[in-house]
Amino acid sequence: MSDIDTSRAETATGTGPDVGEADRDADERAAGAQLSTTPSEDAPAAAGIGVLGWLRWFWRQLTSMRVALLLLLLLALAAVPGSVIPQNGVDQLQVDLFKEDNPGLSAVYEKLQLFDVFSSVWFSAIYLLLFVSLIGCIVPRSWQFVGQLRARPPRAPHRLDRMPAYATWRTDAAPDDVLAAAHRTLRSGRFRVAEGDGAVSAEKGYLREAGNLLFHLALIVMLVAFAVGQLWSVEGGKLIVKGDGFANTLTQYDDISAGGLYDFEDLDDFGFTLDDFHATFEPSGPQKGTPRDFRADVTYWDGAEGAEREDSIEVNDPLEIGDSKVYLIGHGYAPVVTLTDGQGDLAYRGPVPFLPQDINGTATGVIKIPDYRDGEGEPEQLGFVGRFTPTYGLNAELGPHSTFPALNYPVLALSAYHGDLGVDAGLPQNVYKLDQRKMEPFTGADGDILRKSLRPGESWELPDGAGTLTFERVERWASFNIAQKPASGWALAGSLAAIAGLAGSLFIQRRRVWVRARRDGDGHTVVELAGLGRSESARLPEELDRFVATLTADAAPAADAAPDPADRAASGADGNDPSPDGGSAVGADPRRRS
């Protein structure tokens, strides 16, 4: 019966709450208790004065679920700068360029450790607090869940009609037969069942809490895997021109970073050669210039005596050698140039990688010639600042630029400088930048800096017999990331477990069902079914309806049964059942549900 029916019963009888009402309310509270393993979030009593009291209060706050969720949100927000601001050890070139372009802002970023977000003090503090908070949440919840698994389903409340899902009818079957049929029906529905005091208690949906605990345990696994990966990982970058090779030794990397506990002696012994690089682009239409395929064909060997093997590296399809993975992360063009000095001797020959600046392949680069003699035989150094366009275009808005990323009409534009490159000082330099503090440009008769645009095969005669630069051809280059990251499998397993646990906690409903059977004054058996879920859901009444339909096959309603006196009082003085479906306790449909 509904709560409205209960209030009408009290008014009709004039009894109101009896002396056993407190016990009945306690039974109902016990029936709904422990539907979750969430620890109590009630405000604790005053901790008292002293350090121990404050520590106890701080621990309770740190291990509360709301603080854990807040720390998880803070960790996600703290990771945002690491994906927006270039990071040391990840892209050192971009960090150096950012510092050169923004000296004032870079000083602030340095103090805030924004160039090293994931190893910063504040990120590590959030990370460790979240780790401790999750453990503090999981341990008590796990013990509570184990206790629930070992406990019997709670006994049936005195007033089943107060439950949110309820059904009742009268039958000629014996109470023991009804309870036995209820026991079989609930067990077939995979409920945990217990009997006692003329009722059957059943409970189902423990996997909801198991999923909840699995989700939080998976977060801990992911945090541990992340920590292990940071401490014992190593990764570096290498730009390789077609035809060149790489050996996995410390000196071969363009840039490399490792965790605090990594030993570079543990680098895997392997190497590879870039045999060819393939790139295709959408030739026309609204997606013109969009990359379609990138592939690096390599020949690699594992170990000093390992046999050579051929393979291909594609985006998101790395080459795995031992514990290391080689990822393809970028590509571009390297103009091949030859320079003869003022004495006619060969001063330089080779490819010079240019870095792309836009999606159409417009690239910039620097050619540095440290060993050179001018027309008078004096030693000097040359530097060329260049712009390379794979498909040359020119307009008033953009100036010289590339209109397509493929080599349809390659042009190399250069401006020349002479003087001191600064390489003899032994200080590290950016190979893609020209330090012009001790360099002077070659100038023409009008005093302007000399510039020259070259097509493959063309040459530039430098003034005053300084030499000749020839643009021979264009080669491809590819950049690779070589990484050795332990615990990646644990991180993946934790992610999958977190998804599975979250799905279980969202889609599995914890619920309880009670069935009571008793004799009434007319010799019939009154059957009552009630259900209670952790949250309101239409699935619980539907499930109860299915149990009623199954149970009535063994305990069919008695068509001639008169209402029970207690039920008559609750239904009203005339014995009519005020249920929403208009049925009654007797008649064509003697069952009642609410």
Taking only the tens place, the pLDDT of each residue in 150-160 is: 888 888 888 89
Among the ranges given (2-6, 181-185, 255-259), the one the predictor scored with the smallest mean pLDDT: 2-6
pLDDT tens string 42-71: 444 444 567 888 888 888 888 887 888 899
- Mean pLDDT, rounded, for 486-491: 90
pLDDT digits (tens, 9 = 90+) for 353-370: 999 999 999 999 999 999
Cα–Cα distance measured from residue 110 to residue 314, given in angstroms and rounded to the nearest whole number: 35
Dump the DSSP string for 494-506.
HHHHHHHHHHHHH
Average pLDDT, the chain: 83
Residue 59 has a pLDDT of 85
More confident residue, 18 or 538: 538
SS3 591: coil
pLDDT digits (tens, 9 = 90+) for 276-290: 999 999 988 888 888
Pairing of β 363-373 and β 379-389: antiparallel
| Nearest of 331, 334, 333 to residue 352 by alpha carbon | 334
Pairing mode of beta strands 511-519, 467-484: unpaired
Summarize pLDDT for 75-91 with one digit per residue, the tens. 889 989 988 898 886 66
Chain-centroid distance, C-alpha 346:
54
Tell me which of 162 and 39 has the higher pLDDT: 162
Q: What is the pLDDT of residue 543?
A: 87
Residues 431-446 have a mean pLDDT of 87
Q: Which of 413, 307, 289 is nearest to 354 (CA)?
A: 413
Chain centroid, CA 207 distance in Å = 24
- Phi, then psi, of 383 in degrees rounded to 5: -140, 140
More confident residue, 56 or 531: 531
Answer with the residue of higher pLDDT: 495 or 464. 495
Question: Which of 216-225, 339-348, 558-567 bottoms out in mean pLDDT, i.e. has the lowest?
Answer: 558-567
pLDDT top residue among 307 and 197: 307
Decide if pLDDT at 310 tops 90.
yes
Average pLDDT over residues 178-203: 91
Q: pLDDT-based confidence at 313, cuts 50/70/90?
A: very high
- Quick check: 510 pLDDT over 70? yes
Task: Kindly report, residue by residue over 241-251, the tens digit of the pLDDT.
Answer: 999 999 999 99
What pLDDT is attached to residue 229? 86
The average pLDDT across 512-530 equals 91
Q: Report how far apart the first and last C-alpha atoms of the chain are (Å, whole number).
A: 6
Crossing angle between the packed helical segments 51-62 and 121-150, to the nearest 10 degrees: 80
Question: Which two structure tokens, joined as six digits, stand for 478?
Answer: 């590819």
Give the whole-angstrom CA distance, residue 210 versus residue 202. Answer: 18
Lowest mean pLDDT among 306-315, 422-431, 500-509: 422-431
* CA distance linking residue 286 with residue 351, whole number of Å: 34
> What pLDDT, on the 0 to 100 scale, is given for residue 378?
87
pLDDT score for 89: 66
Query: What pLDDT shows up at residue 587?
Result: 29
Q: For residue 482, what is the enclosing H or E element?
A: strand 467-484
Q: Which of 53-62, 88-97, 497-506, 518-527 has the lowest mean pLDDT?
A: 88-97
CA–CA distance, 105 with 114 (Å, rounded to integer): 11
Residue 136's pLDDT is what? Answer: 85
Is the confidence at residue 348, as pLDDT, over 90?
A: yes
What pLDDT does residue 47 have?
A: 46
Q: What is the pLDDT of residue 16?
A: 41
Residue of higher predicted confidence among 515 and 15? 515
What pLDDT does residue 29 have?
65
Distance CA 539, CA 541 (A): 6
Residue 325 pLDDT exceeds 70? yes
Task: Return the HEC string of 307-329.
Answer: CEEEEEEECCECEEECCEEEEEE
